[in-house]
Amino acid sequence: MSDATAKREERRKFQAIRGTRDLLPPETELWNRVEQIAHEVFSTFGYGEIRTPILQMTDLFARSIGAETDVVAKEMYTFIDEMQGLPDPANFAVSPDEYVNSVEEGIKSNEIQVTNSNLRALARLKAELEMFRVRADGQSVEEAHLKFRIAASQIRFGDSISLEPEATASVCRAYIEHNMQQLPQPVKLYYMGPMFRRERPQKGRYRQFYQIGAEILGGTDAPAIDAEVIEMLMTFFDKCGLLGSTLYINSIGHNADNCRRGYVEKLRAALEKVKDKLGPDSQRRIDTNPLRVLDSKLESEQGIIATLPHIADHLCDECKTHYTAVKRQLELRGVLYQENWRLVRGLDYYMRTTFEITAPGLGSQNAVCGGGRYDGLVELLGGPPTKGIGFAIGEDRLILSLQESGKGQVPQGRDIYIAWMGEKAHATAIRAAKDLRSAGFSVELPPLEQKFGKALGHADKLGAKYALILGDNEVSEGLWTLKTLADGTQQKLTEADLLEFLRKQEKVSS
């Protein structure tokens, strides 16, 4: 390999990991703007920000999102966080009894969590200890100890940890952990941050993506709550300037024989009849989760799905009434919606209201937000019976849609470039930069002296609006030259007039 090729190879190693990406300026301005709008809008609805750790126990997601869902079964970034501080089982100086004792101590003191996998590992370890003690087949102590050391080194204790694939489960965990049911109810929380799912990357689908979400926990299941959550969401989209979005709603009832469970059985029976015409994914889902067949995007299945029974015809009376009232509440708030009986969502914790918002410019990954009600979730995670509803916006997709519709423009470039020449002018320039920045203007102050021509060229390239020209004359006269770069006009101003002038211009242009 030539040196040049070797160097290229080396460079190639350090790229963002597949499905992840760097967000760069000026685009990050737009991200900040969108996040700022979220902070503002959500706080007007009484929500406070929660920040949960990215690392959470794997079981939290398996329990809440559902072990059979794509997210949990295929897409989580999971690893074993091994227990630190145990003696090395491969070390001859540690006897098998001592090693097993230290593991048991770890479990007693909760340094090793009492999870199924740790208990299974302990049982395996104890079986190895027993074999060491019995020493079958005339093994010597040394041989038996060696065998134990090899086996014990492969039995691992620790916690299975995952990167958050979504935040609803984490927020519910935090609600329980911090006894938030003791606070005035409902508790309204919002969050923004990175989530991780090992999906096939494509436009609008990443392995590290960002969500802005909100959850309302512990209130009633009054339909006005569902409608207000959606109203807040649409207000946010509106403030962001998102155009052409569509809100789809549905009710998936609750898990009872006279409601969703009954419907699922009818759906399963209907699917069995057309099984041969379905693709392998849908065929599998007839057994695991027939509702998910309704999510299918396969062209060949669309005609068949259209003939399947609708959930709206199988809701119990309470869920039907709830759904009707949610629609009425949306109408009271002037929120436009379309009903979509196929909207079942891909996570197991939902009941009754589900919703999704699509936006243009996103290709096949056009869902910019998803959400719904999940009244049983907090209880499922070990908390008190608690009502809950919320949503999460895919921030990457929101930004993409804003950009595609031309609403994603962010002002670029500096306000003022200070072109200075000479020692004295440099000192004045440093002071001027400080004052202008503290007045809120963005200022580029070159670190080295440059000829004015070159400096103005640089100012142009950076997209500066003005060049402040400071040379010996300007400094001694106390009159500074301000050049408007768009039309080349120049004027002389005192320091005080300069600030006044810039402030006025800013008002005119904003």
The only residue of 173, 188, 205, 426 in contact with ligand HAM, by rule CB under 6 A = 205
Name the phi and psi angles at 31, rounded to 5. -60, -45
Distances in Å between the Cα of 488 and the Cα atoms of 453, 461, 484, 485 are 13, 15, 5, 5
The H helix count followed by the E strand count for the chain is 19, 16
Binding residues with ligand HAM: total (CB under 6 A): 23
Q: Which residue is closest to ligand HAM by CB?
A: 394
Residues in Cβ contact with 254 at an 8 Å cutoff, skipping those fewer than 6 apart: 260, 316, 318, 319, 351, 352, 375
Asked if residue 231 binds ligand HAM (CB under 6 A), the reply is: no
Asked if residue 206 binds ligand HAM (CB under 6 A), the reply is: yes
Residue type, 18: R
Q: Measured from the CB of residue 189, what is the shortest distance to ligand HAM in angstroms? A: 10
Q: Measured from the CB of residue 388, what is the shortest distance to ligand HAM in angstroms? A: 8
Q: Residue 315 and residue 261: Cα distance in Å, rounded?
A: 10
**Secondary element (H or E) of residue 398:** helix 395-404
Asked if residue 367 binds ligand HAM (CB under 6 A), the reply is: yes
Asked if residue 337 binds ligand HAM (CB under 6 A), the reply is: no
Burial zone of 388 (CB within 10 Å; 0-12 exposed, 13-18 middle, 19+ buried): buried
Mask 101-130, x = binds ligand HAM (CB under 6 A)? ------------------------------
Asked if residue 368 binds ligand HAM (CB under 6 A), the reply is: yes
Q: Measured from the CB of residue 40, what is the shortest distance to ligand HAM in angstroms? A: 20
Q: What is the DSSP string of 144-157?
A: HHHHHHHHHHT---
Query: What is the footprint of ligand HAM within residues 131-170 (CB under 6 A)?
Result: 166, 168
Name the phi and psi angles at 445, rounded to 5. -120, 105
Nearer to ligand HAM, 396 or 474 (CB): 396
Q: Residue 335 and residue 228: Cα distance in Å, rounded?
A: 10
Q: Tokens representing 105?
A: 């101590």
Coil, strand or helix: which one is 417? strand
Query: What is the footprint of ligand HAM within residues 386-405 (CB under 6 A)?
Result: 390-392, 394, 396-397
Distances in Å between the Cα of 331 and the Cα atoms of 242, 300, 424 are 21, 36, 67
Query: What is the footprint of ligand HAM within residues 182-201 (CB under 6 A)?
Result: 197, 199
Mask 261-300, x = binds ligand HAM (CB under 6 A)? ----------------------------------------
Q: Measured from the CB of residue 361, what is the shortest distance to ligand HAM in angstroms? A: 13
Q: Residue 329 and residue 133: Cα distance in Å, rounded?
A: 71
Alpha carbons within 13 angstroms on the beta-carbon side of residue 270 total 18
Q: Residue 481 and residue 493: Cα distance in Å, rounded?
A: 6
The only residue of 253, 372, 383, 408 in contact with ligand HAM, by rule CB under 6 A = 372
Q: Measured from the CB of residue 259, what is the shortest distance to ligand HAM in angstroms? A: 20
Nearer to ligand HAM, 355 or 480 (CB): 355
Mask 19-38, x = binds ligand HAM (CB under 6 A)? --------------------
Q: Which stretch binds ligand HAM (CB under 6 A): 76-84, 329-337, 368-376, 458-466?
A: 368-376
Asked if residue 96 binds ligand HAM (CB under 6 A), the reply is: no
Mask 210-229, x = binds ligand HAM (CB under 6 A)? -x-x-x--------------
Which residues are at the interface with ligand HAM (CB under 6 A)? 166, 168, 197, 199, 204-206, 209, 211, 213, 215, 367-372, 390-392, 394, 396-397
